[in-house]
Amino acid sequence: MDSTTKTTPNYDEAAISRCMELVTTKQMTLYAACKTYGIPQSTVRYRLSSKWTTKVRKGPQTVLTEVEEQKLVQYLVAMEKKGFPVVKDLLLYKVKTFFDSSSRSNPFTDNVPGRKWMKGFLRRHREITFRTPETVSSASAKVKEADIRGWFANLKSYLEENCLMAAALDPTRIYNGDETSFFLHPQTKTVLASRGSKNVYEIEHADGHKNITVMFTFGADGSVVSPGVVLPMQRLSVEILRSFPGDWGVGKSPKGWMDTTNFMLYIRNVFYPHLQKKKVRFPVLYFVDGHSSHTAAEVADLCLDLGIVLIALYPLSPYSNHSSQLGKALLRTGGWSTEVRIFY
């Protein structure tokens, strides 16, 4: 007696919906979309026909709605095109913050999705997958022309898709920011000492690992935004705060390094008020490097709320296309090391 074994399709309703969307919006051909999601062309062709009337979704309901998951996909794609590709932990944190701010119940421990949800999310959205990013270090070979052109092409695509070309053509809406460090105990190269002396010691007046970080931002129209200073302190006294100009940003961290909290304070308390005072038209483009303090989810959400589009420059390119490098170079050649030694 013959028996027929019924196999379960390796795709769900969300995958079919996404596949149909890619075909109807002409982002992919029917063949390419079906191959991406592993769905028979006949299934999608039937769903797109007038014969399809049943709109039943099989399987258990997802924790996030289809619309909410689609917003996550759009977030991932946008961050990738802006040069801030999202790691797994950051995506999970994004979902956690969503549930932390809502009263909706969910099966996650401490509102953090697990491996099963992650696997299901990737299965439902086949256009998203894990990739190993290209890393570029100072020890690498020179950046190739094709890499830079590819970065510009990717940026142009993002700007066009998000109706931001008008901002890209308006110098009052383009800004470039970068940080520089001023060490409290600059490394000494050579000193004058007695000929023949075996050892020459230098007393360290300050922690060699501590520094003052200064955030600089310049506009394409030549405007200069007030800087933000991060001091190596546990607390900021009133006297210290009063010693700085009122429109400067002043923050603190254990060793004076820029971190996510201080970068957000700079954007909220210095950069954004500067834009408002100038009556700049929003949104504006803000180019920075890919430092971890710039890539946090909290920073992305803040900039989104304020109408600031954060874009990462291509690695190593800060030394070739950062307008802020000029100001930093002038400060560094102004004798910082000399002044520190005179002070001590």
Whether 71 maps to a domain, the answer reads yes
Q: What is the mean pLDDT of the chain?
A: 78
Same domain, 332 and 222: yes
Is the pLDDT at 324 greater than 70, yes or no?
A: no
User: Is 191 domain-assigned?
Assistant: no
Residue 285 lies in domain: 143-185+208-342
**pLDDT score at 7:** 59
What pLDDT, on a 0 to 100 scale, did the predictor assign at position 267? 95
Identify whether residues 118 and 153 lie together within a single domain.
no
| pLDDT recorded at residue 209 | 55
Is there a single domain that holds both residue 84 and residue 166?
no
Rounded average pLDDT over 34-60: 76
* pLDDT tens digits, 267-317: 999 999 999 999 999 999 999 987 667 767 788 889 989 999 999 887 754
Q: pLDDT over 70 for what percent of the chain?
A: 74
SS (H, E, C) the chain: CCCCCCCCCCCCHHHHHHHHHHHHCCCCCHHHHHHHHCCCHHHHHHHHCCCCCCCCCCCCCCCCCHHHHHHHHHHHHHHHHCCCCCCHHHHHHHHHHHHHCCCCCCCCECCECCHHHHHHHHHHCCCCCCCCCCCCCCCCCCCCHHHHHHHHHHHHHHHHHCCCHHHHCCHHHEEEEEEEEEECCCCCCCCCCCCCCCCCCCCCCCCCCCEEEEEEEEECCCCEEEEEEEEECCCCCHHHHHCCCCCCEEEEECCCCCCHHHHHHHHHHHHHHHHHHHCCCCCEEEEECCCHHHHCHHHHHHHHHHCEEEEECCCCCHHHHCCHHHHHHHHHCCCHHHHHHHHC
Q: What percentage of the chain carries pLDDT values higher than 90?
A: 25
Count structural domains, the chain: 3
Position 180 in a domain: yes
Do both 233 and 308 map to the same domain? yes
Task: Tell me, yes or no, whether 308 and 160 share the same domain.
Answer: yes
Q: Read off the pLDDT band of 75 (50, 70, 90).
A: confident
Going by pLDDT thresholds of 50, 70 and 90, the confidence category of residue 1 is: very low
Residue 221 shares a structural domain with residue 110 = no
Shared-domain flag, residues 118 and 24 = no
- Residue 17, domain CATH: 1.10.10
pLDDT category at 264 given cuts 50, 70, 90 is: very high
Q: Which residue has the higher pLDDT, 199 or 89?
A: 89
pLDDT at residue 289, as a whole number: 81
pLDDT at 138: 43
**Same domain for 309 and 169:** yes
State whether 327 and 231 are in the same domain: yes
Indicate if the pLDDT at residue 152 is higher than 70: yes
Residue 195 lies in a domain: no
Question: Does 316 lie in the same domain as 248?
Answer: yes
Average pLDDT of the segment spanning 110-121: 91
Domain identity same for 267 and 295: yes
